[in-house]
C-alpha cells in the first residue's frame, strides 16, 4: 500500500425515520430526539436527528468492504454535527501505514484510515480513524 492512499468514496444510505425507529428498538437508545419532533426542537435541534451510531454502522460496513482480507483492530469517531432525517452522507478516507498492536499485545504493521463523512452540502458530520492489520 502506498502512503496516503485514498479509498473509494461512497454515498451511504439516506436516513429515514423508519431506520431510526428500528435502530432505537434494537439498540435501546430511545432518546426522544430521535423520534419525536417536539422533543427534538425542545432540545435545541431543528427536528428529529439521526442516531450517530447508526451512521457508524454504515461507515463501518464501508470500511470493512474497502479493507477486505484485513482485520479491524480499533475504530474511533467524533460526531461533528447532528444529522436530520433525510440526510445522506458521503464517506471518504485516506490510508497510511502505522505500527500498531494487533489486539494481543504484539506490534505489527497496520493500516490506519482517517475517514470523513459529509452531507450533500459539504458539512462534515462524522470524522474518525480505523486501524486494520
Average pLDDT over residues 82-102: 86
The pTM is what? 0.85
Q: What DSSP string describes 74-98?
A: EEEEEE-S--BTT-EEEEEEEEEEE
Instruction: Find the angle CA(120)-CA(127)-CA(64) to the nearest 5 degrees.
Output: 95
DSSP 8-state symbol, 1 = -
Q: Helix, strand or coil for residue 60?
A: helix
Judged against a pLDDT cut of 60, whether residue 1 lies above it is answered with no
List, for residues 115-124, the tens digit of each pLDDT value: 999 999 999 9
131 vs 108: CA distance, rounded Å: 11
Judge whether 98 and 113 are in contact, CB under 8 Å: no
List, for residues 50-83, the tens digit of each pLDDT value: 999 999 999 999 999 999 999 999 999 999 999 9
59 vs 115: CA distance, rounded Å: 9
Q: What is the pLDDT of residue 96?
A: 85
> What is the Cα 50 distance to its own chain's centre?
12
Judged against a pLDDT cut of 80, whether residue 8 lies above it is answered with yes
Amino acid at each position: 500500500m502506498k502512503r496516503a492512499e485514498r479509498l473509494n468514496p461512497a454515498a451511504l444510505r439516506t436516513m429515514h425515520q423508519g431506520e431510526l425507529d428500528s435502530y432505537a428498538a434494537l439498540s435501546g437508545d430511545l432518546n426522544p430526539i430521535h423520534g419525536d419532533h417536539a422533543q427534538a426542537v425542545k432540545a435545541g435541534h431543528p427536528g428529529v436527528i439521526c442516531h450517530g451510531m447508526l451512521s457508524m454502522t454504515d461507515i463501518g460496513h464501508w470500511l470493512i468492504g474497502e479493507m477486505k482480507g484485513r482485520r479491524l483492530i480499533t475504530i474511533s469517531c467524533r460526531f461533528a454535527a447532528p444529522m436530520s432525517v433525510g440526510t445522506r452522507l458521503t464517506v471518504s478516507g485516506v490510508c497510511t501505514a502505522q505500527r500498531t498492536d494487533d489486539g494481543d499485545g504484539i506490534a505489527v504493521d497496520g493500516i490506519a484510515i482517517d475517514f470523513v463523512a459529509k452531507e450533500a452540502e459539504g458539512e462534515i458530520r462524522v470524522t474518525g480513524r480505523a486501524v486494520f492489520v
